[in-house]
Structure 1
Amino acid sequence: MRDVLAGRVAPAEPRDAATVLLVRRAVCGLEVYLLRRVSSMRFAPGRYVFPGGSVDPRDSDRGVRWAGPPPREWAHALGADEPLARALVCAAVRETFEESGVLLAGPSETEVVADTRGDDWEDDRRALVDRSLSLAELLDRRGLVLRSDLLRPWSRWITPDVEPHRYDTRFFAAVLPEGQQTRDVGGEADHVAWMAPNEAIRRWRNGELAMLPPTVANLNGLTECATPEDVRAAEREIVPVQPEFREAAGGITLIVPDGVGYPL
């Protein structure tokens, strides 16, 4: 860390990644889906996060059956070129299915898959995880189209320079499709929960939930939405946010840029 801060070592190149704030209606108004990463993970072990992960090379496949705003519109919204925008949206859909069992796709541009439970769906999910099946192949085989209109751009966070594993992550928001249910699929997570955003932040402040600054800040953004409809209607400017570590007499401190909704 000190070598990077002193300029003796070049920072690692961040990998493109996509993460989804999956929300649903609840008695309290709004809940978001969180999962706790297993302690053996090299990045954010034991932390509560949203479903997501790195972009896979096959997420750029132009053969993905697509409905909703085209990649050129997503490129403008995400601050990316068109191929990367396509890959980020595909990664968001793929990772959400891999880590929650929820698939943002349907048989047409106005329909969505009603239920993804059952052994056949679980076989497909596992095949995506082990990369023996691509998202394009899954959609083609089942006669489905990716529903990019079910996603909303939410934010963009870049891992600090000093971290050995760095990500340039676009955060999306999506409402749980009617009829679908999340399920604890294991793998990278050892616990999952639906929770009101303000409750998750309260438990983080009390030391009950371990979370990284991007997770907390994005939860704080959700507190401005009372219902899933508010999330769908949210207009957010996607500006890159990159916290940094600074060394002072008292040690090394993490600094989150001014104006970012990170409730300390």
Structure 2
Amino acid sequence: MNGIPLPGEFGERARAILAGDITPVPARDAATVALLRRVHGLGGPGEAEGELEVYMIRRKASMAFAAGAYVFPGGSVDPRDADQTVAWAGPAPETWGRLFGADTGTARGLVCAAVRETFEESGVLLAGPSADTVVADTTGDDWEADREALVDRRLSLGEFLNKRGLVLRADLLRPWSHWITPEVEHKRFDTRFFVAAMPPGQRTRDVGGEADQVAWLPPARALGRANDGEIFLMPPTIRTLTELAAFDDVAAVLASERRIVTFQPRAAEVDGEMWLVIPGEDYRMS
């Protein structure tokens, strides 16, 4: 059986949902970004020169969803993310909608949420003064004040970009996958995954908030640490890291052709036990 056992309360909830006794909560639109870079120089022990790395954050143990998990920056779409006044460079929202199977308004919100959440949770901003430039540094106190205002929802992404005269660089993002949280969860998300390269000159920083640790990790090493029980990864993260581990550099990831497939783990009863089945996976989760 390929999947995750659902003991206790989750198992009973799964049975109730399958029986129609409980209505699953709606899944909220969300976006997440695997931010990539290539290591230069000698690096540390066991680190190959030119090795691909991905930026990950560990969610605080107090979080209601994915507590303690290592994830990519991301979160729910803010209704204001669909603001049509945002200056935009790159594929139009209609194009993103076709790629992700979403209407134009939802697609606009997803791309804006991807840019906003990446800045909120890493300090990296996929925007620039013009359609072919990108901000070189976002580490000053004024940037941090704006980042905190975005996190607290005192400032929308459109307001933030407009006041700084910045253009959202949708062309720096690439579509990667689509995951919907299983119906058994109390909080559910309809999440589109993106990938993006670390912009030249910018650097990530420990920005706090929902994360208590941040790390740049080669995908294969993150998977190895998860297999050894050192870190906790959720199925969408495992699959994304597994796919990224097949690439040698960032450019190859960005140039890859993707067919966006929707994955939604589902509950199933097998021999009297409840399991969460992961579609398309050939490994057993434990």
**TM-score band, normalised by shorter chain:** over 0.9
Greater Rg, structure 1 or structure 2? 2
Corresponding residue SS for 1:35: strand
1:227 aligns with 2:249: yes
1:6 alignment counterpart? 19
- Three-state SS of the structure 2 residue aligned to 1:178 is coil
> 2:259 matched to 1:246?
no
1:40 alignment counterpart: 62
Deviation at 1:250, TM superposition (A): 5.4
- Show the counterpart of 1:57: 79
1:161 and 2:183 correspond: yes
Superposition CA RMSD, Å: 1.3
Aligned to 2:98, the other structure's residue is in SS state helix
**What does the per-residue CA deviation read over 1:90-111, in whole Å, with 9 as the maximum and x for residues that have no partner?**
0000000000000000011110
Q: What are the within-5 Å matches in structure 2 for residues 107-256 of structure 1? A: 107-249=129-271, 251-256=273-278
Distance 2:35 2:18 in 1: 36
Amino acid at match of 1:15: R
Q: Which runs of 5+ in 2 are unaligned?
A: 1-12, 40-48
Match in the other structure for 2:38: 25
- Aligned residue for 2:241, secondary structure, equals helix
| C-alpha contact 2:56 2:217 (8 A) present in aligned 1 | yes
Asked if the contact 1:245–1:255 (Cα under 8 Å) also holds between the matched residues in 2, the reply is yes
1:262 & 1:226 partners in 2: Cα distance? 24
Moved more, 52-61 or 221-230: 221-230
Residue aligned with 1:44, SS: coil
The answer for the alignment partner of 1:103 in structure 2 is 125
Partner amino acid for 2:16?
D
- Match of 1:239, as an amino acid? V
Partners in 1 of 2:245 and 2:109 — Cα distance?
29
Query: What is the alpha-carbon distance in structure 2 between the residues aligned to residue 257 and residue 77 of structure 1?
Result: 20
Equivalent of 2:109, from 87, 91, 94? Answer: 87
Equivalent residue letter for 2:216? W
- Contact 1:5–1:162, Cα closer than 8 Å, also in 2: no
Deviation readout 1:169-212 (Å, 9 max, x if unpaired): 00000000000000000010000000000000011111111111
Letter in 2 for 1:112: V
Distance 2:147 2:136 in 1: 16
Give the aligned residue type for 1:9.
I
Q: Answer whether contact 1:105 1:145 (CA < 8 A) is retained.
A: yes
How far apart in 2 are the matches of 1:261 and 1:203?
A: 19
Give 3-state SS (helix, strand or coil) of 1:152's partner.
Answer: strand
User: How many percent of aligned residue pairs carry the same amino acid?
Assistant: 60
Distance 1:185 1:262 in 2: 34
More relative contact order, 1 or 2 (CA 8 Å, 6+ apart): 2
In structure 2, what is the Cα distance between the partners aligned to 1:46 and 1:76?
34
Gaps of 5+ in 1: none
Return the offset for 1:262.
Answer: 6.2
**Residue type matched to 1:21 in 2?**
A
Residues 12 and 166 in structure 1, CA contact (< 8 A), matched pair in contact too:
yes
Distance of 1:262 and 1:98 partners within structure 2? 34
Distance 1:61 1:261 in 2: 41
Report the CA distance between 1:247 and its aligned residue.
2.2
User: Is contact 2:59-2:212 (8 Å) kept?
Assistant: yes
1:172 alignment partner, SS class: strand
